[in-house]
A and B are shown apart, each in its own frame.
Chain A
Amino acid sequence: QVQLVQSGAEVKKPGASVKVSCKASGYTFTSYYIHWVRQAPGQGLEWMGIINPTGGSSSYAQKFQGRVTMTRDTSTSTVYMELSSLRSEDTAVYYCVSGIQLWSFDYWGQGTLVTVSS
C-alpha cells in the first residue's frame, strides 16, 4: 500500500533553515506528484507547493517563493522540502502528500512538527 514516511520533529532558531524528508513506498515513485501542506497549531491547512518526481520540476505558492525549495532523489524515492529564514510563524506540522493528479491529495504522510523558537 502507498506509504509516505516523514523525518522526525525539528526545533530551529529564528533565521535558520529546516529540511524535511518524505520517503515514498508502495507505488512507482514517478507516478504520483508530491505536495507539501502545513498546519500551524489550531489553524487550517496551507498549500506550500508541488514537485513532479519525474523531472523534478516544482511550483510554489506565492507566499513561499524564495524561501522554499523542493527536491527529490529518485534512487531512494525520497522528496525533500527545505524552508529557510524561519520565523516563529513557521511553527507548524508539515505534511507531504501524494496525488496521482496534481489537483488532489490522495495519501498523506504522518506529518513533521517544526518548532521555531529562540
Chain B
Amino acid sequence: QSALTQPASVSGSPGQSITISCTGTSSDVGSYNLVSWYQQHPGKAPKLMIYEGSKRPSGVSNRFSGSKSGNTASLTISGLQAEDEADYYCCSYAGSSTLYFGGGTRLTVL
C-alpha cells in the first residue's frame, strides 16, 4: 500500500476558493468516511483542520470544509487569506489500525 495521492501544489488569490484532492483506493478512502486534513506552517507541528471527512474541530474557521466522492476526498478553502499559505496533508484510515498520509500539497496565496 502506498501513500494517498495529492497534487504537489495549488495556488489562489486572496478571496478565492481552492480545492485540494486526496485520492486513495477502495480499501481506504473509499471504504471509510475517516479522512482527516492537517495544515502545517514551516517549522511548526501540523494542526488538525478537518476530521471524519467533514467535521471541523473547535476553533477552526468555517472557511475550511471537507467532502468525499468515491475514492477521493477533498479539502476546500474559501475566502483565501495570506495566513492559509502552508502545506496540507490528508490522512485516511485503512482498517486494521492502519493509517496512510497523502504526500502533501503546498498552497501558495498569490
How many B residues have CB within 8 A of the partner chain? 26
Q: Does A61 contact B (CB under 8 A)?
A: yes
Q: CB within 8 Å of A: which of B8-53?
A: 32, 34, 36, 38, 40, 45-48, 51-52
How many A residues have CB within 8 A of the partner chain? 21
- Say which residue of A45, A109, A111 sits within 8 Å of B101 (CB atoms): A45
Task: Name the residue on B nearest A46 (C-beta).
Answer: B101
**Nearest CB of chain A from residue B55's CB, rounded to whole Å:** 9
Task: Name the residue on B nearest A110 (C-beta).
Answer: B45
**Nearest CB of chain A from residue B75's CB, rounded to whole Å:** 15
- Which residues does chain A contribute within 8 Å of B104, judged by CB atoms? 44-45
- Which residues does chain A contribute within 8 Å of B36, judged by CB atoms? 103-105
Q: Does B73 contact A (CB under 8 A)?
A: no
**Nearest CB of chain A from residue B19's CB, rounded to whole Å:** 19
Q: CB within 8 Å of B: which of A43-63?
A: 44-47, 50, 59, 61-62
Q: Which 10 A-B pairs have the closest CB atoms?
A: A59-B97, A103-B93, A108-B45, A44-B104, A103-B34, A104-B51, A45-B101, A47-B99, A44-B103, A104-B36
